[in-house]
Amino acid sequence: MTYSRELSAALKKAKARVGDRVKAAGHEGILMPSPELVKDSTHIVLKLDTGYNLGIKFEPKTQIVKLAGRKDAKPGKKPKLTPQSEGKIALLATGGTIASKVDYSTGGVSAALTSEDLIGIVPELGDIAHIDMKTLGEWMSEDLDHENWITIAKECEKRLKKDDGIVITHGTDTMHYTSAILSFMLHTPGKPVVLTGAQRSTDRGSADSAMNLITSAYTALGDIAEVGICMHAQPDDSYSFFIRGTKVRKMHSTMRNAFRPINDYPLAKVFPDGRIEPISVRPYRERGKTETKIVFDNAVELLKVYPGADPKLLTNAVNSGAKGIVIEGTGMGHVPTKARKPWVPVIKDIVSSGVPVVVETQCLYGPVNPRVYSNLRLLYQDAGAIPAADMLPETTYVKLGWVLAQEKKLPKIRDMMLTNYAGEINDRIEPDMFLY
Amino acid sequence: MTYSRELSAALKKAKARVGDRVKAAGHEGILMPSPELVKDSTHIVLKLDTGYNLGIKFEPKTQIVKLAGRKDAKPGKKPKLTPQSEGKIALLATGGTIASKVDYSTGGVSAALTSEDLIGIVPELGDIAHIDMKTLGEWMSEDLDHENWITIAKECEKRLKKDDGIVITHGTDTMHYTSAILSFMLHTPGKPVVLTGAQRSTDRGSADSAMNLITSAYTALGDIAEVGICMHAQPDDSYSFFIRGTKVRKMHSTMRNAFRPINDYPLAKVFPDGRIEPISVRPYRERGKTETKIVFDNAVELLKVYPGADPKLLTNAVNSGAKGIVIEGTGMGHVPTKARKPWVPVIKDIVSSGVPVVVETQCLYGPVNPRVYSNLRLLYQDAGAIPAADMLPETTYVKLGWVLAQEKKLPKIRDMMLTNYAGEINDRIEPDMFLY
């Protein structure tokens, strides 16, 4: 039993066992097995008569009453994990730690598991939905580029026509770059496209892959029709966040809850028992609504500015063939302006030659503002840089590559960079989004 | 009264009033007025016999006993704001928003106030200590470089010999680069060196400069002999954090509590009434203990890696004269390894030619680990890159410039990069440091 002591005692007192019909906190339903992944769970799960699973947090005042024994409850009917359990999920494996094994000769870890191996390790997936697996690659995510993104996007485009949702297993290092570009390439997916992975290799004790896969499968069967990342929200196994693909970032190199929303709330909490608790309202699943644009021009460079940085970084980029430049500016989107090595005149020349220069903030949280300071006015009004609102550096970079593959003219590129295609721009940044 | 209900009840029960001599949680002292800026405070403040104010958190088990009435306690002595209020602070103004005015003709903001103007705006500073002001510059911080850092450090070196502590007002955009390099240049300050600034200009209603200056002045008179940043810890005016100069980063472009500790706890909470509540143990003020090393070689480049990034970024850097390169790697410190455009062979060549390549993580939180993955082994064991432990990108960049000014040989440079000079490396990263 994995319930907390208080909850175990309350269930014992009520003589309620799994399969019994019970009433708890005003809800009636069949008591479901406690999720095995959660130790000392303080929740019970009821299958309501509507077929939905409801998680109820047990508190000292929560009353649990047994209404009928398991025989009388719903004789002959085997409880299903979710109402959608006849759904079909495409599981696309691309490599990464979630598909990796420890090589005990070197102690190193490398991508080795196929999607079939994954199902073998997490057999619960088969209970959630029909899983149609395909291995697209065995890549560590630091080695990916736009060609891999296009491979993944094209497979998604196919699967969105026939399956109920998509789960993509992926290395975590650049997962948020991939989630951002897929958000643009599959900009109206109509169904959930869920990226997930693992911070610990699957054959280690502290593995996070099982819960990440299970919550991702439930998300893929759910109603939030977005491209996003579904990974641990907490250091423990209590629940995952599903976070919009353009507003998510790997913020910790080792912790299981490394992926955080930036300038946004998560779309939802997803619990290992299948409950999906929406946090922000988003487009819902809709038939025949898929629209895609799978293109990318990789002649884009991403540069970070820092004190003393030489503006020849910019001219080197253009001389090397860059057709677009993204700068991680400081604060509200500054670059050296009245410095000994000023960037603004060089940017002005580059923009005049037809190459877009987009500036976002290396703070990560908060927006760029092209007006507050006189130095900002020189950069945006005078030199013609494009302020990237509150977009993440990674999102700005992939968006510029996606835009450049569609438009060559500066005014149109500017318009597209400032258009909100996939929730990448948030006009309502709330204080509690900071360090969420 | 602004105490919490429980604390008020406990004080009433003990018949303890402000000015009485009390014993609480093992400490004896005079009960000080509750801080007016804090609502529902769960702390009491005792003035100890040493003259220091001590904040004590009230918990259900905390015993408060009245030892003597206020008349018997220390008759005739008016409590001072701090015991050091005859102290002398050097206030060095360098520009930034804290010293800026709105230009109502353009709506823009630019650096304009001198240190004298600052005192005029925040006259409370004069009550805290004798303030010896000097204006070093009227710079916006995006325009600073290592020459400004050396100017500031040399003035600090002088002032550490005669004043009790230093407050430096500074633009916020690159304040954490400056706090990091000052931490190395003044690596054993012996006294507090406190950087502060403002996220809102001083003539606006939501200005944060007054509380930042006041808490910084108290910190400069306090006992934590570190270079650090003292700014709002919360969106409201409840208290500031004093954060170690090498472990702090501007994480939000607009919010007042933008500066956060990364892979570290703050050194202390500093309240506007002068209380300093230590969070982590640090070196204390010590006479004659100042050691400095004010040097910098600016032939360092900071590059961020991203999917599809071309390793010619590295060769361009070396061809432009870089004598050291810092890379913001992904996850545990990866660069493209088995990618279409691999970075590892190029790094191997560069390191072989005697140019150090140091890699840290663009996650910001968490350490680099040179061993876990086979790709990491190729980069660190085989190609000879230097893993930057849990250092911030900004700290790694300024540290490499500081090290290169002292050493030319690779093995010694590696040793110095991995030596902990100013708390920049933390071997004990705790889970709750994430998003602190």
Q: What is the mean pLDDT of residues B142-147?
A: 97
Length of chain A: 436
Contact yes or no for B173 and A334 at CB 8 A? yes
Residue of A nearest to B181 (CA): A307
* Phi, then psi, of A204 in degrees rounded to 5: -105, 160
Contact yes or no for B143 and A371 at CB 8 A? no
Helix (H, G, I), strand (E, B) or coil at B262: coil
Give the pLDDT score at B102.
Answer: 58
**Structure pTM?**
0.81
In a domain? residue A430:
no
Residue of B nearest to A307 (CA): B145
Region for residue A169 given its phi and psi (left: phi exceeds 0; alpha: psi -120 to 50; beta: otherwise): beta
Of B247, B248, B212, the residue nearest B230 (C-alpha): B212
Co-location of A114 and A215 in the same domain:
yes
User: Is pLDDT of A96 > 90?
Assistant: no
Own/partner pairs, B71-80, CB within 8 angstroms, 24+ separation: B72/B21, B73/B19, B73/B20, B73/B21, B73/B30, B74/B30, B79/B30, B79/B32, B79/B47
Which of A331, A337, A436 has the CB atom closest to B253's CB atom? A331
Q: What is the CATH number of the domain that holds A368?
A: 3.40.50.40
B355 token code pair: 């140019």
Closest CA–CA distance from residue A435 to any residue of chain B (Å): 5
ipTM above 0.90, yes or no: no
List CB contacts of A432: < 8 A, sequence separation 6 or more: none
Q: How distant, in Å, are the alpha carbons of A34, B176, B253 from that of B190?
A: 57, 20, 32
Q: How distant, in Å, are the alpha carbons of B165, B225, B245, B247 from that of B290?
A: 12, 10, 17, 21
Which of A50, A73, A96 marks a domain boundary?
A73
Contact yes or no for A375 and B140 at CB 8 A? yes
**B358 in Cβ contact with B400 (< 8 Å):** yes
Co-location of B368 and B307 in the same domain:
yes
Q: Does the annotation mark B250 as catalytic?
A: yes
Model confidence at B153, pLDDT cuts 50, 70, 90, reads very high
Co-location of B106 and B63 in the same domain:
no
Per-residue pLDDT reduced to its tens digit, B237-278: 999 999 999 999 999 999 999 999 999 999 999 999 999 999
Which of B252, B306, B435 has the CB atom closest to A177's CB atom? B306
Q: Does the annotation mark B173 as catalytic?
A: yes
In a domain? residue B293:
no
Taking contacts as CB-CB distances below 8 angstroms, the residues of chain B near A142 are: 305, 329-331, 334-337, 339, 375
Co-location of A151 and A188 in the same domain:
yes
Co-location of A168 and A213 in the same domain:
yes
Number of domains, chain A: 3
Region for residue A95 given its phi and psi (left: phi exceeds 0; alpha: psi -120 to 50; beta: otherwise): left
Give the domain extent around A202: 88-278
**Distance between CA atoms of B148 and B178, rounded to whole angstroms?**
9
* Three-state helix/strand/coil letters over B61-86: CCCEEEEECHHHHCCCCCCCCCCCCC
Co-location of A397 and A313 in the same domain:
yes
In a domain? residue A259:
yes
Taking contacts as CB-CB distances below 8 angstroms, the residues of chain B near A253 are: 331-333, 361, 363, 365-369
Co-location of B324 and B271 in the same domain:
no
Residue with tokens 């009230």, as numbered in its chain: B58
**Distance between CA atoms of B52 and B46, rounded to whole angstroms?**
8
**Distance between CA atoms of A93 and A166, rounded to whole angstroms?**
11
**Residues of A with a known catalytic role:** 97, 172-173, 250
Region for residue A65 given its phi and psi (left: phi exceeds 0; alpha: psi -120 to 50; beta: otherwise): beta
A43 token code pair: 């929740």
How big is chain B by its Cα radius of gyration, in Å?
24
Contact yes or no for A103 and B374 at CB 8 A? yes
Per-residue pLDDT reduced to its tens digit, B85-95: 579 999 999 98
Per the model's pLDDT, the better-predicted residue between B52 and A8 turns out to be: A8
Candidates A323, A327, A330, partner chain B, best to mutate (most B CBs within 10 A): A330
**Distance between CA atoms of A415 and B244, rounded to whole angstroms?**
42
Distance between the two ends of chain A, CA-based, in angstroms?
Answer: 32
State the amino acid at position B326 in one-letter form: V
The percent of residues in chain B predicted with pLDDT above 70, rounded, is: 85
**B279 in Cβ contact with B290 (< 8 Å):** no
State the amino acid at position A419 in one-letter form: T
Q: Inform me whether the C-beta atom of residue A235 falls under 8 Å from chain B C-beta atoms.
A: yes
Q: Inform me whether the C-beta atom of residue B172 falls under 8 Å from chain A C-beta atoms.
A: yes
**Distance between CA atoms of A354 and A340, rounded to whole angstroms?**
26
**H helices within B98-174, ranges in order?**
115-121, 124-128, 146-160
Model confidence at A80, pLDDT cuts 50, 70, 90, reads very low
Give the pLDDT score at A203.
Answer: 63
Angle between helix axes A146-162 and A175-185 (nearest 10 degrees) is 60
Report B:405-424 residues touching A (Cβ under 8 A). none
B286 token code pair: 């010590």
Per-residue pLDDT reduced to its tens digit, B296-342: 999 999 999 999 999 999 999 999 999 999 999 999 999 999 999 99
Co-location of B204 and B116 in the same domain:
yes
Task: Provide the 10 A C-beta neighbour count for residue B53.
Answer: 24
Report A:299-328 residues touching B (Cβ under 8 A). 301-310, 312-313, 316, 320, 328
Q: What is the CATH number of the domain that holds A24?
A: 2.30.30.520
In a domain? residue B68:
yes
Co-location of A60 and A97 in the same domain:
no
Q: What is the mean pLDDT of residues A269-283?
A: 88
Q: Does the annotation mark B163 as catalytic?
A: no
A415 token code pair: 């318009």
Handedness of CA A151, A154, A158, A164 (dihedral sign): positive
In a domain? residue A347:
yes
Q: Inform me whether the C-beta atom of residue B143 falls under 8 Å from chain A C-beta atoms.
A: yes
Q: Inform me whether the C-beta atom of residue A232 falls under 8 Å from chain B C-beta atoms.
A: no
Of A1, A2, A4, the residue nearest A58 (C-alpha): A4
Residue A427, CB half-sphere, CA atoms under 13 Å: how many?
3
Report A:331-350 residues touching B (Cβ under 8 A). 331-342
Which of A210, A243, A278 marks a domain boundary?
A278
In a domain? residue A109:
yes
In a domain? residue A122:
yes
CB pairs under 8 A between A and B: 227
Closest CA–CA distance from residue A325 to any residue of chain B (Å): 12
Catalytic residue among B117, B132, B173, B297: B173
Per-residue pLDDT reduced to its tens digit, A307-347: 999 999 999 999 999 999 999 999 999 999 999 999 999 99
Which of A103, A307, A328 has the CB atom closest to B174's CB atom? A307
Model confidence at B80, pLDDT cuts 50, 70, 90, reads very low
Q: What is the CATH number of the domain that holds A175?
A: 3.40.50.1170
Angle at A67 between CA A62 and CA A72, to 5 degrees: 145
Residue A109: in which H helix or E strand, if any?
A: strand A109-111
**Distance between CA atoms of A400 and A413, rounded to whole angstroms?**
8
Taking contacts as CB-CB distances below 8 angstroms, the residues of chain B near A365 are: 251-253, 255, 258
> What DSSP line would sit under B302-357, residue for residue?
EEE--TT--THHHHHHHHTT-SEEEEEEBTTTB--SSSSS-SHHHHHHHHHTT--E
Model confidence at B103, pLDDT cuts 50, 70, 90, reads low
Give the pLDDT score at A20.
Answer: 85
Q: Is B195 exposed, middle or buried (0-12, 13-18, 19+ CB in 10 A)?
A: buried
**Distance between CA atoms of A58 and A24, rounded to whole angstroms?**
9
Taking contacts as CB-CB distances below 8 angstroms, the residues of chain B near A331 are: 141-142, 172-173, 250, 253
Co-location of A333 and A400 in the same domain:
yes
Average pLDDT over all residues of chain A: 88
Give the pLDDT score at B36.
Answer: 41
Least confident of A128-132, A277-281, B219-223: A277-281
Co-location of B61 and B95 in the same domain:
no
In a domain? residue B317:
yes
Co-location of A116 and A230 in the same domain:
yes
